[in-house]
Amino acid sequence: MNPWKGPHGRCIGARIRLRALLLVMLVAVLARPPAAYAQTAPPVRIGVLAFLGAEVAESIWSPLVTHLEASMPERRVVLTYYDVDGLRQAVQRRAVDFIITNSGQYAALESEFGVSRIATLESPGVPSPSQAIGSAVIARADRRDLNALSDLRGKRVAAVGEDAFGGFQVAWREFRRQGVEPEDFARLDFLGFPMQRIVTAVASGQADAGVVRACLLEELARDGALRLADFKVLSPRRVEGFACGLSSELYPDWPIATLPHTDLRLAKAVATALLSMPASSKGYAWTVPADYRTVHDLFRDLQIGPYAYLRETTLQALARRYWPFLLFFFAVLAGWIVHTVRVEQQVHARTAALREALAQRDAAEAGMRAHQEQFDHLSRLSILGELSGTLAHELNQPLAAIANYAQSLVRRLDSGRYTPENLAEASREIAAQAERAGGIVHRIRAFARKRVAVRERRPLADLVREAAALFGGMLPNAPRIGIADRLPPGAQVEADTLQIEQVLLNLLKNAADAMQDLPPDARVIDVALEREARNYRIAVRDHGAGLAPASTRHLFEPFFTTKPDGMGLGLSICKTIVEAHGGRLWAEANAGAPGMTFIFTLPADDLIP
């Protein structure tokens, strides 16, 4: 009888086929490449304000996707494009993890939802990321009656829209400063995007003047779309480093911001990738977050956006618009009482809203401080990485000495040629070398540990000696460091110890790098400590080749470096740390000798005479 035939045999055959299928599936899973697992990680969702449409935005931001995915190969980056209302709704629904938008909408979302910037766009042709966006109010060059913004009272004005930051709101603040309100215009037309519509309306005479983004006229002129001489800018301003026609102040560039629900580890990875992203072919890059308080000041002055609750109709405006109704209103005593009660209720309600808005801002600032602490920690680890490339060599010396003394003891014990004196001497040397190795590791761990920034009063000379000891213990054949302590006895500073050590290690490392081509006996770093008026002055001098004057002017700018493998962040971070302590950092060429001297000051303790 054939065992594979009949009901029992078919059941056995089915189980065998099922086991074979499961085995094939297991092999397929085990053979799956690691990259496939990376695709299972949730994507990084970035919402982008696309005021010119999705196609234009795609061409602008696609290099960002390429760089982020190269920096974080385990994650997929997805860009979604929105208009102003759509991006706000996406933040409200938590449909995105990051947003890229203009300064005005960022300030509104910061107040409403607590979004927090991690980097700011750095555009070419502007003085700085904090001075990048402005408005130009333009008119035809042949309009002799229009030269200042105040001349537009009773005229026709065109703009993009009431919510357009560079297309109306920035200029609105300048109108108000010259005593002109939008209701003073004969007509205010919002034409929407593209912004060239405003230029066309002015050129054709449909509008007496128009509000456009600063540099738009120059861009259109370069493209051959118009003659720059046919237009003029009203109430022109001159800002050093900004070559375009301008009628307003300059405000910060576009930020990229995280949402409250965004994973902090993901936010840190994205911020690190952005700050290391090279400039695009057109000169665009990312830098550390700018200060957006000027945008909040603008909204507060105009009482719009997050400060719309401050807007109350003034009696002057009411009298100008509705004087017949106001005359009747004030004639009725009962109506006046009702109005008074209503205003009182609004004051209470809006005061409560203001407290809530301030609480949200405090929470956002707390998040920014947490991000800064993370960045400081990463900076210290970066310094540690540069200095500890040869750490194994330094630890190998005491460990080799320990091994030699231990082997010597074993040989003496085996041969019977040992004395208590030999044993005591070897034991003392082993203990000393072990203590030396432990000291190296302890100093490195203390410097690299992650903790909340804490300031304490410490002797300044002790801080400098500890940093010099840490530097010398981590670098083989380190230059000799001479410390000239000319401080008064007991001189102390109130400072974050690790941050000041971070500054000193950066300066010592730069000095050592500058003298790497000199003979060992000529490599000397001189550190001088002295009091200067109400400050302590710390000078770190090397004897290297020095720097060209052109390079010296850019030393403390982010991402500027003269080293082939440098990132250009060390001195910029040092300058930020020193200034946060109330001091100043600068560099000088050595007088009458090669090399450079880096000098920084810290406020002196007033208790020291």
Q: What is the pLDDT of residues 211-236, one digit of tens each?
A: 999 999 998 999 999 999 999 999 99
The DSSP code sequence of 532-582 is: ETTEEEEEEE--S----HHHHTTTTSTT--SSTT--S-HHHHHHHHHHHTT
What's the domain range around 586? 453-603
Residue 463 lies in a domain: yes
Residue 16 lies in a domain: no
Q: How many helices (H) and strands (E) does the chain have?
A: 18, 18
Mean pLDDT, the chain, integer: 82
Q: Is the pLDDT of residue 527 over 70?
A: yes
Per-residue confidence (pLDDT) for residue 30, from 0 to 100: 42
Per-residue confidence (pLDDT) for residue 452, from 0 to 100: 56
Q: Is the pLDDT of residue 390 over 60?
A: no
Per-residue confidence (pLDDT) for residue 182, from 0 to 100: 93
CB 49 within 8 A of CB 82: yes
Looking up residue 91, the CATH number of its domain turns out to be: 3.40.190.10
Residue 314, token pair as written in the block: 């003034």
Residue 405, token pair as written in the block: 């003394």
In this structure, the answer to whether residues 598 and 467 fall within a common structural domain is yes
Hey, which of 43-47, 51-55, 414-418, 547-551 has the most confident mean pLDDT?
43-47
Per-residue confidence (pLDDT) for residue 4, from 0 to 100: 38
Residue 323 lies in a domain: no
Per-residue confidence (pLDDT) for residue 505, from 0 to 100: 85
Per-residue confidence (pLDDT) for residue 442, from 0 to 100: 66
- Three-class SS state of 289: coil
Phi-psi region of 303 (alpha: psi -120 to 50; beta: other; left: phi over 0): left
Give the model's confidence band at 270: pLDDT under 50 very low, under 70 low, under 90 confident, else very high: very high
Q: Which residues contact 261 (CB under 8 A, 6 or more apart)?
A: 94, 97
In this structure, the answer to whether residues 467 and 558 fall within a common structural domain is yes
What share of the chain has pLDDT > 90, as a percent? 47
Helices (H), 282-419: 293-302, 315-331, 333-387, 391-415
Per-residue confidence (pLDDT) for residue 608, from 0 to 100: 44
Per-residue confidence (pLDDT) for residue 394, from 0 to 100: 53
Per-residue confidence (pLDDT) for residue 200, from 0 to 100: 95
Give the model's confidence band at 339: pLDDT under 50 very low, under 70 low, under 90 confident, else very high: confident
What share of the chain has pLDDT > 70, as a percent? 79
Hey, which of 5-9, 38-42, 339-343, 456-460 has the most confident mean pLDDT?
456-460
Per-residue confidence (pLDDT) for residue 299, from 0 to 100: 93
In this structure, the answer to whether residues 117 and 188 fall within a common structural domain is no
Q: Is the pLDDT of residue 445 over 80?
A: no
In this structure, the answer to whether residues 100 and 214 fall within a common structural domain is no
The residue among 378 and 586 whose pLDDT is bigger is 586
In this structure, the answer to whether residues 112 and 141 fall within a common structural domain is no
In this structure, the answer to whether residues 542 and 513 fall within a common structural domain is yes
Per-residue confidence (pLDDT) for residue 320, from 0 to 100: 52
Average pLDDT over residues 264-289: 92
Q: How far is CA 176 from the centre of its chain?
A: 32
Q: Is the pLDDT of residue 376 over 50?
A: yes
Q: Is the pTM higher than 0.95?
A: no
Q: Is the pLDDT of residue 485 over 50?
A: yes
Mode of pairing for the β-strands spanning 209-213 and 135-140: antiparallel
Average pLDDT over residues 241-263: 95
Q: What's the pLDDT tens digit per position in 278-336?
A: 998 888 899 999 999 999 999 999 998 888 877 755 555 455 555 677 677 778 888 78
In this structure, the answer to whether residues 206 and 278 fall within a common structural domain is no
Per-residue confidence (pLDDT) for residue 338, from 0 to 100: 86
From 68-82, 91-105, 268-282, 387-401, the region with the lowest mean pLDDT: 387-401
Residue 349 lies in a domain: no
CB 135 within 8 A of CB 174: yes
Residue 103 lies in a domain: yes
In this structure, the answer to whether residues 178 and 44 fall within a common structural domain is no
Residue 355 lies in a domain: no
As to burial, measured by CB atoms within 10 angstroms (0-12 exposed, 13-18 middle, 19+ buried), residue 82 is buried
Q: What's the pLDDT tens digit per position in 164-199?
A: 898 899 999 999 999 999 999 999 999 988 889 999
Structural domain total, the chain: 3
Residue 97 DSSP class: S
Residue 540 lies in a domain: yes
Looking up residue 464, the CATH number of its domain turns out to be: 3.30.565.10
In this structure, the answer to whether residues 551 and 500 fall within a common structural domain is yes
Average pLDDT over residues 73-97: 94
Q: Is the pLDDT of residue 1 over 60?
A: no
Per-residue confidence (pLDDT) for residue 567, from 0 to 100: 61
In this structure, the answer to whether residues 185 and 217 fall within a common structural domain is yes
* φ, ψ (nearest 5 deg) of residue 155: -110, 170
Per-residue confidence (pLDDT) for residue 24, from 0 to 100: 41
Residue 334 lies in a domain: no
CA atoms of 530 and 261, how far apart (whole Å): 49
Mode of pairing for the β-strands spanning 77-82 and 44-49: parallel
The residue among 335 and 258 whose pLDDT is bigger is 258
Spatial CA neighbour of 118 closest among 267, 253, 264, 260:
267
In this structure, the answer to whether residues 278 and 229 fall within a common structural domain is no
Spatial CA neighbour of 167 closest among 294, 51, 309:
51
Give the model's confidence band at 86: pLDDT under 50 very low, under 70 low, under 90 confident, else very high: very high
Per-residue confidence (pLDDT) for residue 499, from 0 to 100: 84
Q: What's the pLDDT tens digit per position in 149-165?
A: 999 999 999 999 988 89
CA pseudo-torsion sign 525, 527, 528, 532: positive
Q: Is the pLDDT of residue 27 over 70?
A: no
